[in-house]
Amino acid sequence: MIAMDATDLKILRELWRDGRISNVALAERIGLSPSACLRRVQDLERTGVIRGYRVVTDPERMGRGFAVYVMVGLSSHTKATQEGFERAMAVAPEVVECHNIAGAFEYLLRVESADLAGYKRFHTEVLGTQSHVNAITSYIVMGSSKDERAA
């Protein structure tokens, strides 16, 4: 774990809000000189605290406004089975998150599609074709009061 102080945390909060903020504006918000602020941001990048910057899109406008969390159980728990499942999920465009978890199921997926019919296609044609999948439980997102993945 990297040691961070209150200033580093302020920088990260501002970058979470706006990853495209200029260094000058960021320095002003944090109360640092631009050169000191830039050094801190570069240190956070170099040490891997900041792993990258990305575009946040509106799923609805992208035709992916139907979100489902899916619990997936596997009939076999070998490394090869898990790697095969993970490869299949990595190339499925509907899967935006794939987590190997502990508990009653092996995987938690976040799946986004245009609508229920799109999710049904994914359920049948992607999950349904995985030979070691033996349990699928779907939780349809009705609304999100807090979602910090895409602030």
Give CATH for domain 66-143: 3.30.70.920
For residue range 16-59, list pLDDT tens digits in order. Answer: 989 999 999 999 999 999 999 999 999 999 999 999 998 888 88
- Predicted confidence at residue 141, as pLDDT, reads 97
Instruction: Name the phi and psi angles at 55, rounded to 5.
Output: -90, 135
- What is the mean pLDDT of the segment spanning 105-113? 98
Could you give the C-alpha distances from 23 to 5, 7, 12, 122, 146, in angstroms and in order? 19, 14, 13, 43, 28
pLDDT recorded at residue 39: 97
> Quick check: 134 and 74 in contact, CB under 8 A?
yes
What is the chain's mean pLDDT, rounded?
Answer: 94
Q: What is the CATH number of domain 6-46?
A: 1.10.10.10
- Measured distance CA(130)–CA(141) in Å, rounded: 24
Say how far residue 136 (Cα) sits from the centre of its chain.
Answer: 21
What backbone phi and psi angles, to 5 degrees, belong to 107? Answer: -135, 145
pLDDT-derived band at 95 (thresholds 50, 70, 90) equals very high
Q: How confident is the model at residue 148 (pLDDT cuts 50, 70, 90)?
A: confident
Instruction: Give residue 150's pLDDT.
Output: 56
- The pTM of this model reads 0.81
